[in-house]
Amino acid sequence: MSDDLLGRLDAVLEQRRQADPQDSYVASLHAAGLDRILRKLGEECTETVVAAKNGEGEKIVYETADLWFHSLVMLSHCGLDAAAVLDELERRFGLSGHQEKAARDKTGGDAR
Protein backbone atom coordinates (compact mmCIF):
# COMPACT_ATOMS: atom_id res chain seq x y z
CA MET A 1 0.00 0.00 0.00
CA SER A 2 1.31 3.44 -0.89
CA ASP A 3 1.71 5.66 2.15
CA ASP A 4 0.45 8.55 -0.01
CA LEU A 5 -2.91 6.94 -0.65
CA LEU A 6 -4.70 9.53 1.47
CA GLY A 7 -3.00 12.32 -0.51
CA ARG A 8 -4.11 10.76 -3.78
CA LEU A 9 -7.64 10.31 -2.44
CA ASP A 10 -7.68 13.96 -1.31
CA ALA A 11 -6.85 14.98 -4.89
CA VAL A 12 -9.60 12.78 -6.39
CA LEU A 13 -12.16 14.03 -3.87
CA GLU A 14 -11.23 17.66 -4.59
CA GLN A 15 -11.70 17.03 -8.33
CA ARG A 16 -15.09 15.41 -7.67
CA ARG A 17 -16.44 18.63 -6.14
CA GLN A 18 -16.80 19.91 -9.72
CA ALA A 19 -17.73 16.57 -11.34
CA ASP A 20 -21.06 15.47 -12.79
CA PRO A 21 -23.20 13.62 -10.19
CA GLN A 22 -24.31 11.24 -12.96
CA ASP A 23 -20.72 10.05 -13.42
CA SER A 24 -19.45 10.02 -9.85
CA TYR A 25 -20.70 8.67 -6.51
CA VAL A 26 -18.71 11.34 -4.65
CA ALA A 27 -20.12 14.13 -6.83
CA SER A 28 -23.62 12.76 -6.21
CA LEU A 29 -23.02 13.03 -2.44
CA HIS A 30 -21.80 16.64 -2.79
CA ALA A 31 -24.84 17.44 -4.92
CA ALA A 32 -27.16 15.87 -2.32
CA GLY A 33 -25.62 18.07 0.37
CA LEU A 34 -24.15 17.95 3.86
CA ASP A 35 -27.13 16.27 5.55
CA ARG A 36 -26.97 13.34 3.10
CA ILE A 37 -23.21 13.00 3.64
CA LEU A 38 -23.66 13.06 7.42
CA ARG A 39 -26.40 10.44 7.20
CA LYS A 40 -24.08 8.14 5.23
CA LEU A 41 -21.31 8.78 7.76
CA GLY A 42 -23.65 7.83 10.62
CA GLU A 43 -24.76 4.67 8.79
CA GLU A 44 -21.18 3.60 8.12
CA CYS A 45 -20.27 4.26 11.75
CA THR A 46 -23.15 2.06 12.94
CA GLU A 47 -22.22 -0.71 10.47
CA THR A 48 -18.63 -0.60 11.73
CA VAL A 49 -19.74 -0.85 15.36
CA VAL A 50 -22.03 -3.80 14.58
CA ALA A 51 -19.24 -5.62 12.68
CA ALA A 52 -16.83 -5.11 15.58
CA LYS A 53 -19.41 -6.20 18.12
CA ASN A 54 -19.96 -9.39 16.11
CA GLY A 55 -16.21 -9.98 15.85
CA GLU A 56 -16.38 -10.26 12.04
CA GLY A 57 -12.73 -9.57 11.07
CA GLU A 58 -13.05 -9.03 7.32
CA LYS A 59 -16.30 -7.11 7.70
CA ILE A 60 -14.71 -4.84 10.31
CA VAL A 61 -12.03 -3.88 7.78
CA TYR A 62 -14.59 -3.39 4.98
CA GLU A 63 -16.90 -1.24 7.08
CA THR A 64 -14.03 0.77 8.54
CA ALA A 65 -12.88 1.53 4.98
CA ASP A 66 -16.42 2.77 4.20
CA LEU A 67 -16.33 4.85 7.39
CA TRP A 68 -12.94 6.41 6.63
CA PHE A 69 -13.95 7.05 3.02
CA HIS A 70 -17.18 8.84 3.98
CA SER A 71 -15.25 10.84 6.61
CA LEU A 72 -12.97 12.03 3.80
CA VAL A 73 -15.99 13.04 1.70
CA MET A 74 -17.38 14.97 4.70
CA LEU A 75 -14.02 16.75 5.18
CA SER A 76 -13.92 17.63 1.49
CA HIS A 77 -17.48 18.97 1.57
CA CYS A 78 -16.45 21.18 4.53
CA GLY A 79 -13.42 22.52 2.60
CA LEU A 80 -10.95 20.35 4.54
CA ASP A 81 -8.92 17.27 3.70
CA ALA A 82 -7.12 14.23 5.08
CA ALA A 83 -3.87 16.19 5.24
CA ALA A 84 -5.35 18.44 7.94
CA VAL A 85 -6.29 15.40 10.04
CA LEU A 86 -2.88 13.81 9.50
CA ASP A 87 -1.26 17.07 10.68
CA GLU A 88 -3.34 16.93 13.84
CA LEU A 89 -2.41 13.27 14.46
CA GLU A 90 1.24 14.16 13.81
CA ARG A 91 1.00 16.93 16.43
CA ARG A 92 -0.34 14.41 18.95
CA PHE A 93 2.16 11.69 18.06
CA GLY A 94 4.53 10.95 20.89
CA LEU A 95 2.36 12.71 23.48
CA SER A 96 0.81 10.41 26.00
CA GLY A 97 -2.97 10.47 26.20
CA HIS A 98 -2.64 12.24 29.54
CA GLN A 99 -0.37 14.95 28.06
CA GLU A 100 -2.78 15.45 25.18
CA LYS A 101 -5.69 15.79 27.60
CA ALA A 102 -3.76 18.26 29.78
CA ALA A 103 -3.00 20.42 26.71
CA ARG A 104 -6.65 20.21 25.69
CA ASP A 105 -7.93 21.19 29.14
CA LYS A 106 -5.52 24.17 29.19
CA THR A 107 -6.86 25.52 25.90
CA GLY A 108 -10.51 24.83 26.64
CA GLY A 109 -10.93 21.76 24.42
CA ASP A 110 -8.85 22.56 21.35
CA ALA A 111 -5.21 21.76 22.05
CA ARG A 112 -3.83 23.45 18.91
**12 near ligand PRT, judged by CB under 6 A:** yes
CB of residue 88 to ligand PRT, shortest distance in Å: 22
21-40 positions binding ligand PRT, by CB under 6 A: 24-27
Helix, strand, or coil (residue 112)? coil
**69 near ligand PRT, judged by CB under 6 A:** yes
CA atoms within 13 A on the CB side of 47: 17
86: left (phi over 0), alpha (psi -120 to 50) or beta: alpha
| Closer Cβ to ligand PRT, 26 or 75, answer by number | 26
CA 103, distance to chain mean position in Å, is 24
| Closer Cβ to ligand PRT, 24 or 71, answer by number | 24
Residue of 16, 30, 75, 81 that binds ligand PRT (CB under 6 A): 16
Residues that bind ligand PRT (CB under 6 A): 12, 16, 24-27, 66, 69
